[in-house]
Amino acid sequence: MSYKRLIEAKTRQAFELVKDLAQDVVFTRKTNSDFNFGTGLEESDSKSVKTKVIVSDNKKKSSERNTIRKTLMAKTAEVGDMKLYESISFNGLVWKIGEVSKNDGYVSVVDVYREG
């Protein structure tokens, strides 16, 4: 087994070992988009990817507004380039994708935001 496959297998195993700390989520991204200047609206297609994430941080971002930020870890092999995603759904709520702080090819760490 190559080192790359070995690390990916161990990453999958790690997400299984943490049991319910890894939550089921759905990432949504645009696969094609254009802007119609006639209507002033976006025209796009989207694609969803189901995976598991681990919430590593959770805090209120702003003292002026109830902006909530979560930091999530996901398996890069399943989600690919996190910057392509727009939103993530879990626990019945939709969060917007923010900054991707880490992507080592195996684990991606991303901030997601929501107005609470």
Partner 1 sequence: MGKYVGLQTSAFSVFDSTAWKAESIKTYPANFVPVNPGDEFVRVSIIPSGRGINSKSSSGVFQIDIFTSAGLGPTRAMQLADKLDLYLQEKSKTVSEGTLQFLLSSLSLTGVDKANSALYRAKYTIPFNFFGVL
For partner 1, give the closer residue by CB, 6 or 84. Answer: 84
- Tokens found for residue 81: 């380039």
Q: Measured from the CB of residue 34, what is the shortest distance to partner 1 in angstroms?
A: 7
As measured in angstroms, the least distance from the Cβ of 116 to partner 1 is: 22
Ranges of beta strands (E only) in 1-116 are: 22-36, 41-60, 67-75, 85-90, 93-103, 107-115
Residue matched to tokens 């990453």: 11
Q: Which amino acid is at 109?
A: V
Residues that bind partner 1 in the complex, under the rule CB under 8 A: 30-38, 40, 42, 44, 84, 86
- Given the complex with partner 1, which of 26 and 84 has the nearer CB atom? 84
Q: How far is the CB of 22 from partner 1 (least distance, A)?
A: 28
Nearest CA to 81 out of 21, 33, 15, 31 is that of 31
Residue among 96 and 102 whose Cβ is closer to partner 1: 96
